[in-house]
Amino acid sequence: MKAGTHYTGNGQCTFTVWAPKAEKATLHIIAPKKRAVKMKKGEEGYFLAELDDVSPGTKYFYQIDNDTNLPDPASHFQPDGVHGPSQVVDHTYKWQDADWKGVEWHDIILYELHIGTFTKEGTFEAAIAQLDDLAELGINTLEIMPVSQFPGNRNWGYDGVHPYAVQNTYGTPDDFKKFVDACHARGIAVILDVVYNHMGPEGNYFGKFGPYFNNKYSTPWGDAINFDADYADGVRDFFAENALFWLEKYHLDGLRLDAIHMVFDMSAIHFWEYVNEKVKKFSVQSGRRTYMIAESDMNSPKVIKSPEVGGYGFDLQWLDDFHHALYVLLDPKGQQYFADFGKREQLEKAIKDGFVHSGEFVEFRHRRYGRSSAGVSGDKFIAFIQNHDQIGNRMLGERLSILISFDALKLAAALVLLSPYIPMLFMGEEYGEDNPFLYFVSHSDKDLIKAVQEGRKEDFAKFQFEGEAPDPQSENTYTKSKLQWQKRKKGHYRVLLDWHKELIGLRRNYDALHNYNKDCIQVRITDGGILEIERWNEHSRVVCLYNISEKVATYKAHKELPQKLLDSTEGKWQEKESTAKKTAKALPDKIKADAVIDLPPWCTVLYKIV
């Protein structure tokens, strides 16, 4: 890797910084003993200093020309925060995962989490204690929200300004490695969310080193990162090598790339093609499975197509349309967020094809939008009903457990976990956590704090009837967002947890439920309004019926359904412990062809045919 420090042991360390327009660069070591080292300018704008008397933990700054001391843009650790000195890291670590090869693509059950709010302590070390619970549930892949160094001690992670450095309040580099090692020991893969479309505002010193940004394109965060203008080679390598850095040094199993549509590049080889090709080569050389996941607002199959046919080469992409189509049916008030959704046919299309908006006129965008994904294999998409954006970008950060009934929660879980896509849960969703997940920051710049506070209020001006937007700078906002793990073993929380475990087990045990071939799925809305999904492969065939309404709906079977596998109306799946469980009337164990049955509101029932 070109930029950053490279400690090779026995005091040997190379310091490299990219500053292509600078005349000179100086390495200022400030601890354990102060000294200044003139750096040698090499090729492509890189300055180097090779020392043989450096120990891990050495703190340093760079000085570019005659500017002030600046932390390393490629720092591997910032023990004193984004404005403090960078620290030399020895990446030697006694890994215990030599036999780890990753999780099979078709078997992935994703779980998104934020390290700071996942536990009371908010550290890598504390998170390890919860891994057994996740493994028991059936989770085998974690998607970690960004852990790159951000300002202060609380942030979603998308304000990071040191892409190579682990957030100091979460733990040390070795703590993160220990966490990944612990995951692998339990059969759990780890995917990290990284941000290559912008840098955060506080502690952002990139412009003092070189042309990391250009003003050819506008983004919500200011000038775009420079992937295609003058001097772009150094920027492209900085971020492409960052992807390899996490995979190599921290044994991560993949990356989730934030908002890829906000990376602007008119180069012959697009940056996303460039980085995905490097990752694929690494995967082959290391013998480990790696996954590159895109968050995209384009509704385009181009994202997951190979570069040979004009694509970006990602392995998977988030399927927001699945969320929108399902959520508005579960909570009609959701139309104030997603005005173009609310029809059952849209959910039918989301399940069968993927993208709901595939070239039609979309009112929200005031234009035609998207392209068809019909025929694209389901394992190219990640489906969910909750994630950090969909919860945290609500004014009050309400989870689905606050917005809809218990029975509707069960139905939503079934639609996600029995979908023909890679399913993803958001932390706490599995037991119906009712603490909010709010937007929080901890900046030190008073003007920036005020701008964030006022911006948040403006964002939710039309929702003033719901109350006042929580202050993102307040520590209480952060504390309220933490999971309450003790809930998951009690009452209706435990029922919902067991329901999720049951669904994951069914998905694993029946081949038809993890068959991603869209030619082997039939989706229809019956005359009675029931969503009927039939799926099959050569070994099994199942039918799942969903009553997505508050009213009893009639279902007429068009074929025999001989064996019931799951029924949300059974007593054991009821919210209340008392009479509801005792008096719950389960649906028939089998249904004859042409038989007519009534499905209660928000009911889910799964039948095996073969």
Q: Annotated active-site positions, please?
A: 258, 295
The token pair that represents 578 in the structure block: 């008392």
Spatial distance between the Cα atoms of 345 and 360, rounded to a whole number of angstroms = 14
For residue 509, count CB atoms less than 10 angstroms from its CB and return exposed for 0-12, middle for 13-18, buried for 19 or more: exposed
Phi, psi (5° rounding) for residue 163?
-60, -20
Query: Residue 504 in 3-state DSSP?
Result: helix
Check: CB of residue 410 under 8 Å from CB of residue 496: yes
Spatial distance between the Cα atoms of 572 and 531, rounded to a whole number of angstroms = 24
Beta bridge partners, 561, equal: 591
Query: Of the candidates 315, 347, 207, 193, which has an alpha carbon nearest to the alpha carbon of residue 258?
Result: 193
Beta bridge partners, 606, equal: 544, 566
For residue 223, count CB atoms less than 10 angstroms from its CB and return exposed for 0-12, middle for 13-18, buried for 19 or more: middle
Query: Residue 83 in 3-state DSSP?
Result: coil
Query: Of the candidates 134, 200, 131, which has an alpha carbon nearest to the alpha carbon of residue 167?
Result: 200
Query: Residue 36 in 3-state DSSP?
Result: strand
Spatial distance between the Cα atoms of 282 and 280, rounded to a whole number of angstroms = 5
Look-up: residue for tokens 């073993």?
489
Query: Of the candidates 410, 349, 460, 473, which has an alpha carbon nearest to the alpha carbon of residue 600?
Result: 410
Cα distance from N-terminal residue to C-terminal residue, the chain:
54
Beta bridge partners, 294, equal: 257, 317
> From start to end of 285-429, where are the E strands?
291-294, 316-318, 361-362, 367-368, 381-383, 422-426
Please, what sign has the CA dihedral across residues 119, 120, 123, 125? negative
Query: Residue 104 in 3-state DSSP?
Result: coil
Phi, psi (5° rounding) for residue 544?
-115, 135
Spatial distance between the Cα atoms of 243 and 269, rounded to a whole number of angstroms = 17
Look-up: residue for tokens 């070994």?
539
